[in-house]
Amino acid sequence: MLSSAPSYLVPRGLGSAEIVEKKSRFLCLIERVSDEAEAREFIAMVRAEHRLARHHCSAFVIGADRQLRRSNDDGEPSGTAGAPILDALIGARPHGDVPCSDLVAVVVRWFGGVLLGAGGLVRAYGDATSAALEQVQWLQRDERTLWELDAPHAEAGRWEHELRTRGLDLLPPSYGASAATLTLTLDGTPEEQARAETIVAQLGRGRTLRPAGREWIERAVS
């Protein structure tokens, strides 16, 4: 039996924020990445762009299970920079209770001449990351089960409208020589599948859905 499919948020683009703490500047940059190699490329790019800064501390979280996690203090006292950046990424819930993943954060620090102490560093790196997370625009990724339905060309538009009106999500239809294909994206629960099959049977005079695998679907969130 399929369980409800997982969901998580990913950045739509670059997010950034800067804070100042006792004359030290902390610039946080957040970007979407798909794997560890991309995360390290972004960290290297930020380091090259801000090579005169003293520290380029970073963390990333990758995967639907959020199990790939790394952080780096880049010369700051152990645990005062990378760890609070990572904690901010792991703890963020920008939209409802949906967590974040597939993102990297780099906090660039220009030293202002005043020592912050361990507690001050932890707060500054965490606050810079949290501020940048607030500036990110998000996409929600949902793993969905796909089900296809063939529709006569003359009926495809009406069927699509009716399915959407009744609360089902669909991908854009595809049109072949003899019929159109409507693809429903369901959450994987038996309840939604049963409801979809009932609606389709009524709509298509006994037609049935055929399974078409699983796919990650992305949609913008406010």
Predicted TM-score of the model (pTM): 0.85
CA angle 84, 86, 91 (to 5 degrees): 95
Q: What is the pLDDT of residues 129-178, one digit of tens each?
A: 999 999 999 999 999 999 999 999 999 999 999 999 999 999 999 999 88
Cβ contacts of residue 41 below 8 Å, gap of 6+?
A: none
DSSP conformation letters of 80-121:
SSHHHHHHHHHH--SBTTB-B-SEEEEEEEE--SS--HHHHH
Q: What is the pLDDT of residues 103-141, one digit of tens each?
A: 999 999 999 999 999 999 999 999 999 999 999 999 999
| Residue the block writes with tokens 């299970």 | 65
